Structure 1
Amino acid sequence: MLARLVLLAAMALAVFAYWAGLSGPFIFDDLPNLSPVESWLKGEISWQSVMFGNQSGMMGRPLSMASFLLSAELGGHTPFAYKFGNLIVHLLCGFIGWQVVRRLLAEDPRLAARADLLASVVVALWLLHPINASTVLYSVQRMAQLSTLFVLLSLWTYLIARRQLIEGKLAAALPSLFVLFPVFMLAGLMSKENAAVAPALCLVIELAYFLARAEHKRIRQAFFAAFLVLPLLAAAGAFLFAPSKLLVSYSERDFTLIERLMTQPRVLMDYIFTILIPRTPLMGLYTDDFVPSRGLFAPVTTAISILALLVISALAVKLRKRAPSFFAGWFFFLVAHGIESSIIPLELYFEHRNYLPALGLILAVVGLVALLPQELPLNIFTPKQLGTLIVGGFALSFLFATAGRANVWAAPDTMLEQGLKHHPGSMRAQLERATMALQQHANPQGAYDAFADLLSGSNPRYRVVGRISWVTLDCMTGKTVTSTDLQRAVSQAQPSLSMAEVPALRLLTRFSRERGCGQLTDSMIADGIVTMLDRASNQPDQSRAKWLTRFLAAETLLRAGRSEDAQKQAELAWKASGDLPAGVLLSQIYASRKMKAEAQQLVGMLEKRIKPYDKQGLAELAKTRTLLQQQ
């Protein structure tokens, strides 16, 4: 009864802590991901387009998109509707997490008698932890939350089935292992791809609590072969035969594969310290200033972090029999980071990646209770009293820290102010500063100051973005802009394009299209973009940043009346990406240049690929048909 009261109290306090932040704004990639939901509400597109048209990840995350549709249907296209939905999912994760942790602790001989209460402690600390604010209060991170929810459901299923195997209940265990588990895992993958860690987490559980048990060995082997070994072999095979498909995005990053792998131990140790001792002023979204490791001793914390992770892992292995929950929690933390801290060329650091792993780390700390003596030497407090004081102190500090973060996240000004104070080198923070100066305060000088900070920074790519943005701002404010101004930005272009330059160039071309940019014509802008592409000649054409830039160049060249040059860029973009908008644009260029055979052939290909519910794509393709009919 006490365990359930603690859990319910933690849930209620979590609602209290997060409530102020639910009215906060949309941020970063919220709008690109959620604007189709708004279009659906207006009747402009179908729900199928929203669910299956998202470009995030390999599978498009349709379940996450479906949940956004539900939030919008019930509460409208408002930040509150989505963030309130996130809070509900957070509470659901807490409840399912409690079911998982209590079953884990029930398998720990020294902690089994207090399993329910200790599970409530673990989950209470996780529910209230301030590191989760950047997941719960970030609308689009519903994807990470739902992935976590289904991973926890799959672990709960595995633990129930594992106990049934021990009790000889095969008829109940087999459907759970080979039907229900993969269903939950697939649902997780359709929410976000890092749900793929679920089978590996089951292996951690198996090693921590069931290693000595020999019953139904072949069933367990079949389970791990089907859901862990075979997928790993398939992934390894895909990587060996086509490594470029996975690693091509490294051409867009300012770090290599080796540098990323060396950096991640530092990242993990930073996560660990933040979870154990939250440093709320330093926390937030503006972590793109995290410096990559260039060598084992550059910085020296690289080697120290690697050594620390190895030592803790060795200690966990050594203590596995005496403190299996410490072993389980520690390796849960590491394995749960196994996708986003691996070879995949993602950004180096994000707090929301700890949403699932943090539960494991807190379990590891609580699991150390198994090593404590039954009686304390000083007799001031009993172990129970001391534990209550420690847990209560941490819970209260987490509660107030999370409430404080929620208040910061309630307004964009306070979010940005804190971000700029502690992460002045963040390009995201400086661009947000410029956007806010223009949109909320009508203060062009504030935007110029932000771009000036980018121009004075040490990162050459940030300087390029700052210079392009400066040119766009000159256009907006009606200043005289010439090709020389853009050439200054182009002259500093890097030998590779990234997703940092793409939105800056897109904003410049959009403003030029809609309002004009003084003496800087579309043709001049297109020439600048092509120059940047030429400078990135050694970058693979399949790089997303590169083919998106080609697509942008093709659009701008076409507006400038240079259809032959536009065709060349559109052909390269289409060949590199197979992207439907690039194909549609190319078909329109063919049609406008009276290349009827090429246009008809391409239209035939596109008709087979465009879904019947893709109204926008079909409308664009209809324009090509109209052009062909006019010939």
Structure 2
Amino acid sequence: MAHRTLFKHPVFHLLLIALLGLVAYSNSFHVPFIFDDETSIINNSAIRDLNGFLSGGGYAYNPRRFLGYLSIALNYRFGGLEVVGYHVVNFAIHTISAWLVYSLTRLTLSTPFFTEGRPEPDGEAHRPVTSFIPLCAALLFIAHPVETQAVTYIIQRLTSLCALFYLVSLCCYVKARLELDLGGKTTRSVILWCLASLAAAGAAMKTKEIAFTLPFIIMLYEFLFFGLPTAKKLMYLAPFALTTLVVPASLLGSRMSIGQLISDVTTVTRVETGIPRLDYLLTQFPVVVTYLRLLFFPVHQNLDYDFPVYHSLFQAPVFLSLLLLLALSGVALYLLRSTGREWRLVSFGILWFFITLSVESSFIPIADVIFEHRVYLPSVGIFIALAALASLLFRRLSERGALAVVGVVALILAGATYARNEAWGSARSLWSDAAAKAPGKARPHYNLAMALENAELPKEALREAATAARLAPTDPKPLDLIGTIFGKHGKYDEAIAAFSEALRLDQSLPSAHVNLGDAFRLKGLTRQALEQYQQAVQLTPTDADIYDKIGTAHIMNRDMEKAAVFYQCAVSLAPGNAAYRQDLMGAQAALGRH
């Protein structure tokens, strides 16, 4: 009897959820920094000084996502660039979010819609679902491989952390409303729960813009599970309605478009598409269907999809996807009429999916039309809906039998997550996977080329960089990389040709100027080298390395006075760099100075 009580105890359920998550992500804690991690973490000076970050530097860097980057700054403060610490925090966030999915579903089953007496449509007694549905939803959430991009990809902590705050806010709101309904009056406890909910809502909106939908979810929840609110209860909704102003206020004053602001990839790696609003909206219909397919059949996952942009409603993928999404929305609305309690959860889950996805899958054009981590928060609704459907499907089974079936499914998903994390094991394996699945897209081949070059495989790197250059003939970065590879192996003429072609495509690319200058300098052409370095300095006047290279070119010309001046500039910009100091001391010694 005791073991049955333990089996149904919430603490046991929470431990089971965490254990399954640990199994699924056990091979992810040494995954290196990848893709956007380079600009957001490795080369991000804003996170290097925690005191400066907290005293205003962090808010100035990105006020819209201040709390997300604060968590990164804290990671850096206590662990530097050791990846394990970042992954431990990401996994903890994912586990807590899964616990919150469990808690939210349990709380929902305590709302008036579920506790008030109402007969079942088939006349049968209603089997308790207090344990099954919450545990089922949480196990699916923590084990599903579609979540890997929001958990294993370090900087996408902004997505998972926002989801955590989002769920905390909703759970606190539901607690306040349950206590209000139970006591019939506003108590101190009710006020504290409301304040906690508002604080979490604000935190979510200062982590990522997807939190904009939270007030709408709260209003939907109120209507579905507490009924039409009275004038008094509307007072509790009003503060949450006002939080919808937080995200728009954070966007004011920026010269970037909204799509650029909420984009998942920085301008360094983003492919600029300039997609018209209508084309982006049309493309999102098949994108959303792809998200649904991944939730039901998580195969062929990819970090960087080669997804076509559609231009007409009457293109078959767009039209058929729209029909499917309209049908699913219609089902959600139709189920609101059902007296079956689980059907209301199914309806809520579907509506949650569409509402929470609306910021990134609507008419706001974002350069990359699809990314798997964008479905992290929306997936909560689908998993709650699936758990409710499973409760109906396994109605004839005992609760233990139903949980056994769900446990097997969760273990299979955890195995798929483990396998997916294997692909994330290194930059080379991840981009090899992406390039194989998107052979016609330049960016995966370019990133694979960089990974191969870092692994000291120049022939393979050249092949991939050449493929990227062929697929994106107007992009100078693959050519810049080709030149770098040639230069490292002493083929300066080939390097100069590649760098020159890159600059023909884009004269504002500082790295190409620097690299071309290096090639000229190593070939002994110091005048041409200095010309390129000077152009690079005009583009990036605070780059100490360029000044040091100019000093070295003057050394080759035996102009020690100028060399000392430029070495001094490099030291002034980067006083902690020992190599720059050594170069300066060498020039001063040649001039007879201390």
Question: Under TM normalisation by the shorter chain, which class is it?
Answer: 0.7 to 0.9
SS across alignment from 1:317:
helix
Q: TM-score, normalised by structure 1?
A: 0.71
Aligned residue number for residue 563 of structure 1? none
Aligned residue number for residue 36 of structure 2? 29
Query: What percent identity do the matched residue pairs reach?
Result: 22
Aligned residue number for residue 130 of structure 2? 115
How many angstroms apart in 2 are the aligned matches of 1:55 and 1:417?
37
How many angstroms apart in 2 are the aligned matches of 1:510 and 1:321?
67
Aligned residue number for residue 477 of structure 1? 489
Go from structure 1 to structure 2 and tell me whether the alpha carbon gap of 1:154 and 1:467 turns closer, same or farther (over 3 Å shift).
same
Go from structure 1 to structure 2 and tell me whether the alpha carbon gap of 1:371 and 1:187 turns closer, same or farther (over 3 Å shift).
same
> Which deviations, in whole Å up to 9, do the C-alpha atoms of 1:552-601 show, x marking residues without a partner?
59989x989xxxxxxxxxxxxxxxxxxxxxxxxxxxxxxx9xxxxxxxxx
Aligned residue number for residue 358 of structure 2? 338
How many angstroms apart in 2 are the aligned matches of 1:480 and 1:373?
71
User: Is 1:2 matched with 2:7?
Assistant: yes
Contact 1:51/1:62 (<8 A) preserved: no
Q: Give the Å deviation of 1:206.
A: 2.0
Aligned residue number for residue 95 of structure 1? 99
Q: TM-score, normalised by structure 2?
A: 0.76
How many angstroms apart in 1 are the aligned matches of 2:423 and 2:326?
37
* 1:381-420 matches, cutoff 5 A: 382=397, 384=399, 387-388=402-403, 390-420=405-435
User: Is 1:431 matched with 2:440?
Assistant: no
SS across alignment from 1:216:
helix
User: Is 1:186 matched with 2:192?
Assistant: no
Q: Give the Å deviation of 1:395.
A: 0.7
User: Is 1:293 matched with 2:310?
Assistant: yes
Contact 2:349/2:381 (<8 A) preserved: yes
* 1:319-338 matches, cutoff 5 A: 319-322=335-338, 323-338=343-358
How many angstroms apart in 1 are the aligned matches of 2:210 and 2:515?
38
> Which deviations, in whole Å up to 9, do the C-alpha atoms of 1:479-531 show, x marking residues without a partner?
215876556445667xxxxxxx98xx34323434666475664646988x9xx
Aligned residue number for residue 301 of structure 2? 283
Go from structure 1 to structure 2 and tell me whether the alpha carbon gap of 1:351 and 1:248 turns closer, same or farther (over 3 Å shift).
closer
Contact 1:157/1:177 (<8 A) preserved: yes
Aligned residue number for residue 246 of structure 1? 258
Go from structure 1 to structure 2 and tell me whether the alpha carbon gap of 1:514 and 1:98 turns closer, same or farther (over 3 Å shift).
farther
How many angstroms apart in 1 are the aligned matches of 2:256 and 2:514?
32
How many angstroms apart in 2 are the aligned matches of 1:555 and 1:6?
54
How many angstroms apart in 2 are the aligned matches of 1:417 and 1:197?
36
How many angstroms apart in 2 are the aligned matches of 1:90 and 1:328?
22
How many angstroms apart in 1 are the aligned matches of 2:224 and 2:73?
40
Of the structure 1 ranges 241-250 and 343-352, higher mean CA displacement relative to structure 2 is found in 241-250
Q: Give the Å deviation of 1:154.
A: 0.3
> Which residue identity is paired with 1:218?
L
Go from structure 1 to structure 2 and tell me whether the alpha carbon gap of 1:159 and 1:523 turns closer, same or farther (over 3 Å shift).
same
* 1:415-494 matches, cutoff 5 A: 415-440=430-455, 442-457=456-471, 459-462=472-475, 464-478=476-490, 479-480=492-493, 485-486=498-499, 488-489=501-502
How many angstroms apart in 2 are the aligned matches of 1:248 and 1:482?
34
The number of residues matched between the two structures is 518
User: 308, 312, 317: which is aligned to 2:333?
Assistant: 317
Go from structure 1 to structure 2 and tell me whether the alpha carbon gap of 1:317 and 1:131 turns closer, same or farther (over 3 Å shift).
same
Aligned residue number for residue 49 of structure 1? 53
Aligned residue number for residue 363 of structure 1? 384
How many angstroms apart in 2 are the aligned matches of 1:136 and 1:285?
13
Aligned residue number for residue 567 of structure 1? none
Contact 1:13/1:128 (<8 A) preserved: yes
Q: Give the Å deviation of 1:410.
A: 2.4
Contact 1:90/1:145 (<8 A) preserved: yes
Aligned residue number for residue 279 of structure 2? 259
How many angstroms apart in 2 are the aligned matches of 1:154 and 1:312?
27
Contact 1:468/1:489 (<8 A) preserved: yes
Aligned residue number for residue 589 of structure 1? none
Aligned residue number for residue 586 of structure 2? none
User: 57, 63, 75: which is aligned to 1:59?
Assistant: 63
How many angstroms apart in 1 are the aligned matches of 2:518 and 2:532?
16
Contact 1:330/1:361 (<8 A) preserved: yes
Q: Structure 1: give runs of 5+ residues left out of the alignment.
A: 376-381, 494-500, 530-548, 561-591, 593-614, 620-631
Contact 1:96/1:152 (<8 A) preserved: yes
SS across alignment from 1:23:
coil
Go from structure 1 to structure 2 and tell me whether the alpha carbon gap of 1:275 and 1:191 turns closer, same or farther (over 3 Å shift).
same
> Which residue identity is paired with 1:295?
S
Of the structure 1 ranges 348-357 and 99-108, higher mean CA displacement relative to structure 2 is found in 99-108
Aligned residue number for residue 20 of structure 1? 27
Of the structure 1 ranges 213-222 and 409-418, higher mean CA displacement relative to structure 2 is found in 213-222
Go from structure 1 to structure 2 and tell me whether the alpha carbon gap of 1:154 and 1:247 turns closer, same or farther (over 3 Å shift).
closer
Q: Structure 2: give runs of 5+ residues left out of the alignment.
A: 1-5, 115-119, 121-125, 264-270, 549-568, 577-594
SS across alignment from 1:158:
helix
How many angstroms apart in 2 are the aligned matches of 1:51 and 1:85?
24
> Which deviations, in whole Å up to 9, do the C-alpha atoms of 1:426-482 show, x marking residues without a partner?
433212221122221x2322221012212332x4445x4433433343344332158
Contact 1:208/1:327 (<8 A) preserved: no
User: Is 1:104 matched with 2:70?
Assistant: no
Contact 1:94/1:127 (<8 A) preserved: yes
How many angstroms apart in 1 are the aligned matches of 2:398 and 2:20?
26
Contact 1:40/1:47 (<8 A) preserved: no
How many angstroms apart in 2 are the aligned matches of 1:122 and 1:70?
31
